[in-house]
């Protein structure tokens, strides 16, 4: 493809849209800070522990030393433009990772040199798999006691079913880590100064030469499997050039058949320049990605758009952010065409036009104004009032709807109420803006109690949101105790009837349906099937029946929790020529669901969390006893070579509130844990009785 010049004189083959993803605490933000420093974006390296990082610019991020929002930054390396997104590692902020991966072309996955693959490394890796994102691996913290490069690579191979191809090996590990060996050029790479600015390439020392030669042979073999030229030369024992090796590895990386592995110690400023070289050498440009697919909003016909300025506009909004200084920012990725300030675009997801106001390139929390954004680029715009995460912006004359972004359901809720009546309006406004920013944060009013309930992905998620309400929106609110988001479902197939008949002068209402309900495996999803024959219910009333069932599923009869995991088959019913209406059949559908649930031996489902606890080995016994008391099921225990034990378990969310404090007490403050949603499972009778206020399920 011809190299096409873009605004700013950079051609599209020299653009990289990448994300840095990892388990919490693997060193993503530190790695990002070093990238900004070496690419000339900053003049001083920020430190997470000092709260001086560029990408962690929110007060909550600096205080907690974690990343909460995905920060977008643009920098330059080797005449390439790198649009970089630093994503959170904490599973409570999984939406940030999900939406970033949806618009990125490639990823750097950071691993801890001691731990290797950790539970949330698996989660983000699977998310990247889902969006088919090519990635390179960076084994960080090689200077940490217990660091083991080969072990980390092995865990990537085994736990992620990946194909890691080391292109470097460390020179020394732990306290002895001094530099890396470049297996492509067979040179030793070290750094001449404390801040890692001066890269020195020299001869490989004798003590590591045989290891390097063996690893290089393995690397060539791995590349040969995916490249015919390399394979031919390898079999003929001919010399293979570095360029041929890089080209072969790049092709395998772009097809997700291999992942180049590099190593270093970001905190000690070691290994970042070769990592940037690898981004340029192995990760895709927008031109390497297939044309984006979408559908026509009216006909549903599939449309593709090439990554070209000359094609009609297609852009995806992947994040909404409220900036206290400039207002509502909508971050977008342009897949085709050009977005210019002042032009009119169509929001095809919602069916209305919007005018593009100010367009800015983001540099974490600082902005640089732009007049236009080209195909393949990432930027943000101000002034889009009715555009939300996952919406498509397209040319008015050439509408297209791109695949949106799906997010997990929240699993935990708390009630919030304003301290004073003056706070009420501010609370409503703050919650509206926060919910616009974060699709996994849901606000609703409990019809029975009138309480405002906010729901999210975990205790930390809600803690941060409440903290932001107080600081950014100056809302003083009382917060209730955390509540688990339970679900309701049925355990046996049933036939239920819904009949809605009203008569009072003139037109009445008449809707009558017979629905077969059956439970779905894994208590997930909802399926609706229409098996009406002979027009006993006219086709225009089928959709209202489905809508009525769905509406009734929002609040189940046991304790008002959403109903999940059912299949509804509409099999019979009747209608009235005059009195039947959409409303009547919607109500009939909801009545059928209510009856079906109560006849179907309903059960309450509780969220079960996947848990990883890392503690010094001497405390492992006490920690496991405590987990057992919380109804946890221990699924594995592993003793690492740094004196720590890793306990894997599954535990009901309802038993895990306040666990952080208890773990600190049990481990003299040295234990850490991560928790993520795993699945819904049947709650035991004592939990059901407590939640429903006395109802006990019949045995089934």
User: Which of 20-34, 122-136, 192-206, 460-474 has maximum average pLDDT?
Assistant: 192-206
User: Which of 281-285, 362-366, 477-481 has maximum average pLDDT?
Assistant: 281-285
Identify the pLDDT of residue 98.
66
Candidates 618, 624, 619, 646; CA nearest to 112 is 646
Candidates 345, 337, 349, 348; CA nearest to 306 is 337
**What number of other Cβ atoms are within 10 A of residue 675's Cβ?**
24
Contact 224, 231 (CB under 8 A): yes
pLDDT at 629 over 90: yes
| Least confident span in 169-183, 251-265, 347-361, 653-667 | 653-667
Q: Summarize the confidence of residues 646-665 as an average pLDDT.
A: 87
Q: Band the pLDDT of 173: cuts 50, 70, 90.
A: very high
Supply the angle between the helices 242-254 and 272-282 in degrees, to the nearest 10: 70
pLDDT at 42 over 60: no
Q: Band the pLDDT of 560: cuts 50, 70, 90.
A: confident
Identify the pLDDT of residue 594.
94
Contact 394, 388 (CB under 8 A): no
The tens digit of pLDDT for each residue in 418-460 reads: 888 888 888 998 898 888 878 888 898 876 667 788 888 777 7
The tens digit of pLDDT for each residue in 498-546 reads: 999 987 666 788 999 999 999 998 888 899 999 998 889 999 999 999 9
Distance separating alpha carbons of residues 624 and 494, to the nearest angstrom: 42
SS3 316: strand
| Count of alpha carbons within 13 angstroms of residue 586, beta-carbon side | 8
| Least confident span in 97-101, 431-435, 639-643 | 97-101
pTM of the complete model? 0.71
Supply the angle between the helices 542-553 and 582-599 in degrees, to the nearest 10: 50
Q: Band the pLDDT of 32: cuts 50, 70, 90.
A: confident
pLDDT at 593 over 80: yes
| Least confident span in 184-188, 323-327, 351-355, 544-548 | 323-327
């Amino acid at each position: 493809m011809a190299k096409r010049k873009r605004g700013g004189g950079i051609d599209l083959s020299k653009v990289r849209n990448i994300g840095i993803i990892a388990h919490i605490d693997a060193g993503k933000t530190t790695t990002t800070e070093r990238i900004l420093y070496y690419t000339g974006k900053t003049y001083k390296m920020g430190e997470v522990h000092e709260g001086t990082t560029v990408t962690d610019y929110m007060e909550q991020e600096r205080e907690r030393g974690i990343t909460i929002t995905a920060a977008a930054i643009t920098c330059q390396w080797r005449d390439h433009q790198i649009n970089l997104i630093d994503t959170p590692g904490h599973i409570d902020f999984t939406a940030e990772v999900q939406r970033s991966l949806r618009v990125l072309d490639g990823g750097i996955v950071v691993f801890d040199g001691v731990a290797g693959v950790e539970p949330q490394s698996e989660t983000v890796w699977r998310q990247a798999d889902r969006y088919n994102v090519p990635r390179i691996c960076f084994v960080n913290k090689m200077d940490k006691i217990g660091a083991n490069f080969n072990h980390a690579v092995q865990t990537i191979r085994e736990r992620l079913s990946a194909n890691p191809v080391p292109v470097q090996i460390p020179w020394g590990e732990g306290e002895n880590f001094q530099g890396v060996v470049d297996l492509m050029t067979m040179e030793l790479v070290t750094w001449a100064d404390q801040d890692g600015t001066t890269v020195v390439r020299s001869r490989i020392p004798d003590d590591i030469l045989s290891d390097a030669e063996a690893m290089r042979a393995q690397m060539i073999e791995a590349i040969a499997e995916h490249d015919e030229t390399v394979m031919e030369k390898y079999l003929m024992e001919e010399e293979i050039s570095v360029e041929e090796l890089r080209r072969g590895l790049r092709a395998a990386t772009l097809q997700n058949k291999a992942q180049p592995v590099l190593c270093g110690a970001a905190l000690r400023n070691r290994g970042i320049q070769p990592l940037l070289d690898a981004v340029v050498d192995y990760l895709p440009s927008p031109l390497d990605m297939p044309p984006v697919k979408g559908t026509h909003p009216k006909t549903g016909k599939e449309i593709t758009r090439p990554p070209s300025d000359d094609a009609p506009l297609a852009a995806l909004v992947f994040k909404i952010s409220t900036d206290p200084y400039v207002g509502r920012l909508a971050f977008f990725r342009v897949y085709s065409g050009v977005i210019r300030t002042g032009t009119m675009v169509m929001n095809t997801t919602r069916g209305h036009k919007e005018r593009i106001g100010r367009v800015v390139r983001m540099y974490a929390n600082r902005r640089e104004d732009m007049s236009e954004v080209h195909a393949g680029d990432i930027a943000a715009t101000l002034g889009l009032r009715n555009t939300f995460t996952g919406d498509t912006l397209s040319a008015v004359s050439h509408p297209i709807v791109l695949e949106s972004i799906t997010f997990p359901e929240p699993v935990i809720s708390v009630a919030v109420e304003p301290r004073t009546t003056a706070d009420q309006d501010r609370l409503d406004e703050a919650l509206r803006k926060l919910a616009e920013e974060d699709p996994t944060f849901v606000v609703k009013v409990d019809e029975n109690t009138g309480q405002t309930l906010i729901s999210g992905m975990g205790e930390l998620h809600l803690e941060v949101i409440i903290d932001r309400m107080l600081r950014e929106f100056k809302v003083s609110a009382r917060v209730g105790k955390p509540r688990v988001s339970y679900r309701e479902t049925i355990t046996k197939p049933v036939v239920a009837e819904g009949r809605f008949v009203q008569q009072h002068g003139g037109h009445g209402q008449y809707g009558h349906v017979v629905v077969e309900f059956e439970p779905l495996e894994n208590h997930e999803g909802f399926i609706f099937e229409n098996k009406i024959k002979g027009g006993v219910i006219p086709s225009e009333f089928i959709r209202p029946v489905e809508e009525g069932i769905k509406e009734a599923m929002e609040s189940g009869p046991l304790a008002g929790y959403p109903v999940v995991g059912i299949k509804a088959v509409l099999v019979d019913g009747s209608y009235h020529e005059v009195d039947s209406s959409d409303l009547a059949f919607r109500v009939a559908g909801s009545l059928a669901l209510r009856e079906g649930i109560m006849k179907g031996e309903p059960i309450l489902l509780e969220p079960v969390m996947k848990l990883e606890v890392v503690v010094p080995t001497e405390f492992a016994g006490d920690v496991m006893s405590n987990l057992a008391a919380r109804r946890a099921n221990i699924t594995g225990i592993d003793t690492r070579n740094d004196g720590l034990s890793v306990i894997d378990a599954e535990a009901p969310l309802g038993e895990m509130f306040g666990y952080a404090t208890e773990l600190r007490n049990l481990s003299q403050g040295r234990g850490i844990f991560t928790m993520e949603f795993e699945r819904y499972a049947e709650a035991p009778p004592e939990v059901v009785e407590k939640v429903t206020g006395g109802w006990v399920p019949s045995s089934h």
